[in-house]
Structure 1
Amino acid sequence: MAKKKKAVQEPMFARLCLVTPAEFEAAHFAPVLDATLRSGDVASLILDLAHLDPDAALSAAERLVPIAQANGVAAIIAGDWSLVQASGADGVHVAAGQAELRRAVDTFHPDRIVGGGGLKTRHDAMLAGETDCDYLFFGRLDGDTADEIFDKALDMAAWWSVVFEIPAMVMGGRALGSVIEAVDARVEFVVLRDAVWLHPEGPSAAVAEANRLIAARQMEAAP
């Protein structure tokens, strides 16, 4: 089973991760992504390329993965495993169940990151944790349809973060302030999409502000 955390452990707070926009054209998005990743701490970028045909998805991955890596950001492909090797991405995000997640771990470990999503229950999460994947993702990549984090996703991520060693990611809301909910719940990573890419002041300003909110809440919570 997934390893439980030690009884005494330093608290961990949310670091920011991003998901690519629901739709984008890679050539136009590339400079925006580069500027965004330069504007503040981002741990990882999940490339959700489901809206693109296979050739366009490969072209986008080949263009965007090096930008993420040049900024010290782990580039993780959602779904299509073939793009991981072809683009040199750092890992793969799997949301198709325990068997597929285990196969991904067997295929890519120890050289690349493997994360598990599509978790609907605590039982699902514990089964996914048994694969020794690198993170569990609570919520959906397109799950930022409300300003706040969805209660079920946050509750599961908070429970997992308290009990188990494998880090948790939780899908944030469409408002930047949702990162505070993740900090308060001691979830290791909070993921944003529209809150960044559709921010009225631009995505670079959004990343800077999200990091400011995280840091301020961490300071408030410090003993």
Structure 2
Amino acid sequence: MSTPEDRCRLVLVTPEISDPVEAARIVADALKGGDVASVIVPQYALDDIAFQKLAEALVPVIQEAGAAALISGDSRVAGRAKADGLHIAGGLEPFGEAIEKFTPKLIVGGGNAQDRHKALEIGELQPDYIFFGKLDGDIKPDAHPKNLALAEWWASMVAIPCIVMGGTDPQSALAIAESGAEFAALRLAVFSEPARAAAIIQETNALLDEKAPRFRG
């Protein structure tokens, strides 16, 4: 079995669950399935107080499993919850400010770059990673073809790692790996069946071990 770092790795996006105890249990169970590089926690429709409680429940669970906990959007919540990083989905200005303020103390990445020009503008900010797609963009079985095409172009010429949002089928991670992207993000593909989440992660990692292209050292 290969070391995970030489191929595309999984990133999880937590599902929309407002109860911190239930969310922590579901995410902890999922992470028993094997290698996950990081877990992104979106705010969804939660108010700031509820999001704070959710983040404080999830961050230690994610970190104990050996993954990086990334809070989407709110740097105060990320700080109070002692998260590893910040995922920025907004425009260039907040992105640049977050990088200036929190790097290298926190991982800062994100994007939702819809075209090459936007992606290069984000790249000029020197984030820790760029994200192609939306955190809740897994509406079809496969990853969006546009995001795969952007990742293939990006990975061939830019050293900054990229994460691509996958689809509702866990096997969409393989198409992402074949694009050259360093990370495949899964949400509903893992969490739509919470009881099977760990098994799905295990199976997807096995698929990537067997079929994903290896990065050149």
TM-score (norm 2): 0.92
Which residue pairs with 1:75 in the alignment?
69
Question: Which secondary structure does the structure 2 equivalent of 1:58 belong to?
Answer: helix
Distance across 2 between alignment mates of 1:39 and 1:134 = 26
Pairwise CA distance, 1:132: 1.0
In structure 1, the residue corresponding to 2:7 is in which secondary structure? coil
Hey, what does 1:52 align to over in structure 2? Answer: 46
Relative distance call for 1:94 and 1:220 in structure 2 (3 A) is closer
The answer on 1:61 being equivalent to 2:55 is yes
For residues 21 and 92 of structure 2, the distance between their equivalents in structure 1, rounded to whole angstroms, comes to 35
Alpha-carbon distance in 2 for matches of 1:221, 1:110: 25
Deviation string for 1:166-190 (max 9, x for gaps)? 0000000100110110121111000
| Residue among 163, 178, 189 paired with 2:183 | 189
Q: CA deviation at 1:221?
A: 10
1:170: which partner in 2? 164
After superposition, the C-alpha distances for 1:105-155 in whole angstroms (9 at most, x for unaligned) are 011111110002121110101010111110000011011000011010111
- Bigger drift between 187-196 and 75-84 goes to 75-84
User: Residue 212 of structure 2: SS of its match in structure 1?
Assistant: helix
Structure 1 counterpart of 2:92: 98
Which residue pairs with 1:203 in the alignment? 197
Unaligned runs of 5+ in 1: 1-10
Match of 1:31 among 25, 34, 59: 25
Instruction: Look up the match of 1:147.
Output: 141
Q: 1:199 deviation in Å?
A: 3.3
TM-score, scaled relative to structure 1: 0.90
The question of 1:40 aligning with 2:18 is answered no
Give the partner amino acid of 2:89.
Answer: A
CA contact (8 A) 2:71 2:85 kept: yes
Alignment: residue pair count: 212
CA distance in structure 2 between the partners assigned to 1:85 and 1:180 by the alignment: 34
CA 1:220–1:90: 2 relative to 1, 3 Å: closer
Q: Which runs of 5+ in 2 are unaligned?
A: none
Verify the 8 A CA contact 2:20 2:58 in the aligned structure 1.
Answer: yes
Mapped to 2, the partners of 1:219 and 1:169 lie a distance apart of 16
CA distance in 2, matches of 1:219, 1:95: 28
1:59 Cα shift? Answer: 0.5
Aligned residue for 1:93, secondary structure, equals strand
**CA distance in structure 2 between the aligned counterparts of 1:121 and 1:139, rounded to whole angstroms:** 11
Distance change (3 Å), C-alpha of 1:131 and 1:199: same
User: After TM superposition, what 4+ stretches of structure 1 lie above 6 angstroms from structure 2?
Assistant: 219-222
Aligned-partner Cα distance in 1 for 2:43–2:91: 19
Give the conservation status (yes or no) of the 8 Å contact 1:12–1:186. Answer: no
